[in-house]
Amino acid sequence: MARIGVVTFPGSLDDRDAMRAVRLAGAEPVALWHAERDLKGVDAVVLPGGFSYGDYLRCGAIAARSPIMGDVIEAANKGMPVLGICNGFQILVEAHLLPGGLIRNDHGSFVCRDQRMRVEHASTAWTNRFTVGDEITIPLKNGEGGFIASAETIRELEGEGRVVFRYLDVNPNGSMNDIAGIANERGNVVGLMPHPEHAVEPGFGPDTPAAMRSGTDGLVLFQSAVAALLAV
């Protein structure tokens, strides 16, 4: 069975939800601790949402320099699947595993909503069970989720097809080009602001036209990782 690690930093909030999502996707969740230089032999890593180190200095800045991140960066550069969710996405850009940056929402307020978005890249380790053009709904909750990058980086991301998810209906935080998530060149590292681990189980997900709280689109990201690991 695939083993997927979830790192807990001081101030992580959604680590247990992420572990539950991993289990529901058919993999074994493994708890990892920020202060240890030990990936416990996992096959993939999730950096969960929350407010690591209280967002001190900048969101994700201190977590990106924590002991375990040295190992995560090394493994990611060798091709291990890594998913950064919300604060985890901020940690990935601070660790330079993904380009660009995330700044305070342009309207200045925290936003919490069920967010529709379109899948734009379906050959990453975390999206291979989607089809390009799929429209999915995933809960979003952030205060600093505005994705920004230099014009050159945006050109590169768009030109190489590395925008993974794009916001639909509304741009909730002022992200450039409505970007909700991106991947590295190799497609093993993906970061996104919305929270797929909150849409994995009927009864607890976002509303859908079919039924209240029945949305499970987020589960597909974790199932994709399981499929990618089986394919290796």
Partner 1 sequence: MPVVVVEVMPKPELLDPAGKAVAGALARLGHSAFSGVRIGKRIELTVDRPVDEALLEEVRAIAEDLLANTVIEDVVAVYPSGAEDELDEFSIVAAGETH
Tell me which residues are annotated as active site. 86, 195, 197
- 112-141 residues near partner 1, rule: CB under 8 A: none
Q: Which residue's structure tokens are 């924590």?
A: 66
Q: Please, are residues 149 and 101 in contact by the beta-carbon 8 Å criterion?
A: yes
Measured from the CB atom, the residue of 41 and 108 that comes closer to partner 1 is 108
Q: Under a CB-based contact definition with an 8 Å cutoff, are residues 46 and 22 in contact?
A: yes
Min dist. Cβ of residue 181 to partner 1 (A):
17
Start-to-end C-alpha separation, the chain: 13
* Residue 103 C-beta: closest distance to partner 1, Å: 6
Which among 34-42, 75-83, 144-152, 196-204 is the span making contact with partner 1, rule CB under 8 A? 144-152
- Compare residues 40 and 109 and give the one whose CB is closer to partner 1: 109
Q: Does 58 bind partner 1 (CB under 8 A)?
A: yes
Q: Do residues 178 and 171 touch, judged by C-beta distance below 8 A?
A: yes
Least distance between partner 1 and beta carbon 155 (Å): 15
How near is the Cβ of 146 to partner 1 at its closest, in Å? Answer: 8
Based on the shown chain and the rule CB under 8 A, indicate whether residue 170 belongs to the binding site for partner 1.
no
Closer to partner 1 by CB, 101 or 194: give it.
Answer: 101
Out of 15, 43, 94, 178, the only residue in the binding site for partner 1 (CB under 8 A) is: 94
Amino acid found at 146: G
Q: How distant, in Å, are the alpha carbons of 54, 73, 214 from that of 204?
A: 27, 33, 7
Using CA atoms, how far residue 194 sits from 43, 116, 150, 153, in Å, is 23, 10, 22, 21
Cβ count within 10 A of residue 78: 9
Q: Which of 88, 63, 117 is nearest to 189 (CA)?
A: 88
| Residues at the site binding partner 1, with contacts judged by CB under 8 A | 57-58, 61, 65, 93-94, 99-101, 103-108, 146, 148-150, 174
